[in-house]
Structure 1
Amino acid sequence: MKPSPFLLLLAFFCQTAFAQDSLDVGQRRNTLKLDLTHNLLYRNAYNLSWERITKPNQSMGFTVGYQEFPQVFNLGENIQARRESEAGGYKVGAEYRFYLRKENRHAAPRGVYIGPYFTTLGFNTTRDITYTATTEPQDASYVAKFRLYSLGAQLGYQFVFNDRWSLDLVLVGPSITRYNAGMRLEGDFEFDPDDVQNEILDALIEKFPGLSDLLNDKEFDSSGKVDVLGIGYRYQFLVGYRFGKYKKK
């Protein structure tokens, strides 16, 4: 059996990291990172993070980005999805890291770290639909908004190569997350909007891992909104470039 490219890549990173244990690493206080995780989860995702060393073995970080809601092809048995007229979204976050002095042989931002984080995600999507459960198919459009607010703690490891490049892996990141969704139907139709809203909601929340279980049996209220508090999680894969004044240790 041939080893997978991912395992070969991981082995290379680990070998390179441990091979540098005996080297002095220059101290650059800033790292600009590209978050590749959301590129796998969402459409047109462009998220950048900035990490800055604040104290020996401590750092703070900020994240901003743009992303779109995942493409949904099946909205329900009686709902035909047509074109998406609008799509957009954002990510904003902040974190503080403590690089474990006893676990790491090098200064931050290299090695094992823990710390709190906060993130908020937002998505907007507008789409045309056709409802077919009536005698005559009826056209409408829905406007949906999703907001997620997460406060949690994370454990991760950051590799540094040649004092310039970094590979940042968030391995564990549980959080308390507030999930807020709102939807309204627009158009000249005669069907009951409550039934259609909840059918569309079931299809959309399946795009968020674990959210379908959290919102089980939840329905929109009379104003077309749902709001629930639950457990979330975070994992990330970021590639970074380090910059700033060089100081040899």
Structure 2
Amino acid sequence: MRATHIFCFLFLTLVANYSLAQQTDSTRYYKNIIRYNLSGGLLFGIDHYIVFGYERVLSPKRSISVNFGKASMPKLVSISTDSFQVNKDQKRSGLNFSIDYRFYLARENKFRAPHGLYIGPYYSYNRFTNDVKWTSKSSSSSSDVAVDTKFNIHTVGFELGYQFIFWKRLALDLVLVGPGLGFYDYKATINSNIDPAKREQIQEGLKQLLTQKFPGMNYVFSDQEIDANGVMRTNTIGYRYIVHIGFNF
């Protein structure tokens, strides 16, 4: 009789533990996402824009997200001035860093974070460096002029987005609206002794490269000129639109 009681007790204990395990697995709550920036690669080139991110859920309706990686300007094509043309786009490098704090809207979402509609502040920093070689187009002689450029962008703003979670694991994050204030600082250093007229021509060519091949810079620098020191700075409205794909765990 005692053996029967012990057997029944063990059986009921196993059933209870199994039921609890099944319930826990079906309602498991994943608080982490690792992600890859899809939109940046499409704009700048997959081999020159590789940015990964991590999102951590802090509460059922809040999270923090950090992104970091390699970024560089689009590949330059031949652009000419009256006396110079781009000969070689020698080296491109840079980085991207951003952080945002997300509030998942309780009244709009039936899911826990990180699934659903969110709003929140963000900060992003981009740094691009580029070495460009220009060649004189003079028929009598030929000379090369090397130019180093550095371009820094700081942006602070407020974003609205939606993150889908498919099959509990696949995350698709869409930053739909991200207005902000951008601080743009461009500097070109000409590593050759040339006369002021030729220097001005090269600087005009550099502005063409920047505004024609870098998304959105035709608007940012539309009324700006590179000064005698090779510097062009401005503050204006910035914008953020990003598509991420990630894994929820």
TM-score past 0.5 threshold: yes
Q: What secondary structure is seen at the aligned counterpart in 1 of 2:159? A: strand
The equivalent of 1:235 in structure 2 is 241
Aligned mate of 2:66, from 62, 65, 68: 62
Indicate conservation of the 8 Å contact 1:75/1:204, yes or no: no
Q: Give the 3 Å change call, closer, same or farther, for CA 42–25 of structure 1 in structure 2.
A: farther
Indicate conservation of the 8 Å contact 1:81/1:128, yes or no: yes
Higher deviation after alignment, 205-214 or 47-56: 205-214
Aligned mate of 1:217, from 213, 216, 223: 223
Aligned mate of 1:30, from 29, 32, 42: 32
| Deviations 1:39-68, CA, capped at 9 Å, x for gaps | 011132110010000122100010101022
Structure 2 Cα separation of the partners of residues 238 and 216 of structure 1: 30
Structure 1 Cα separation of the partners of residues 123 and 80 of structure 2: 34
- The amino acid that maps onto 1:101 is A
The equivalent of 1:17 in structure 2 is none
**Percent of aligned pairs sharing the same letter:** 30
| Deviations 1:140-186, CA, capped at 9 Å, x for gaps | 11111111100011111111012211011111111100111000112
The equivalent of 2:97 in structure 1 is 92
Normalising by structure 2, what TM-score?
0.82
Higher deviation after alignment, 24-33 or 179-188: 24-33
The equivalent of 2:168 in structure 1 is 163
- The amino acid that maps onto 1:55 is S
Report the CA distance between 1:226 and its aligned residue.
1.0
Aligned pairs for 1:149-228 (under 5 A) are 149-187=154-192, 189-190=194-195, 192-228=198-234
Indicate conservation of the 8 Å contact 2:126/2:154, yes or no: yes
Aligned pairs for 1:8-47 (under 5 A) are 26-43=28-45, 44-47=48-51
Q: What secondary structure is seen at the aligned counterpart in 2 of 1:205? A: helix
Structure 2 Cα separation of the partners of residues 226 and 188 of structure 1: 21
The equivalent of 1:19 in structure 2 is none
Normalising by structure 1, what TM-score?
0.82
- Which 4+ stretches in 1 moved above 4 angstroms? 188-191
Report the CA distance between 1:135 and its aligned residue.
5.6
Higher deviation after alignment, 74-83 or 154-163: 74-83
User: Mind listing any 5+ residue stretches in structure 1 that lack a counterpart?
Assistant: 1-23, 244-249
Indicate conservation of the 8 Å contact 1:26/1:163, yes or no: no
The equivalent of 2:3 in structure 1 is none
Indicate conservation of the 8 Å contact 1:25/1:163, yes or no: no
Structure 1 Cα separation of the partners of residues 164 and 98 of structure 2: 22
| Deviations 1:2-21, CA, capped at 9 Å, x for gaps | xxxxxxxxxxxxxxxxxxxx
The equivalent of 2:118 in structure 1 is 113
Structure ranking higher in helix proportion:
2
User: Mind listing any 5+ residue stretches in structure 2 that lack a counterpart?
Assistant: 1-25
- The amino acid that maps onto 1:130 is T
Q: How many residues of Structure 1 are paired with residues of Structure 2 in the alignment? A: 220
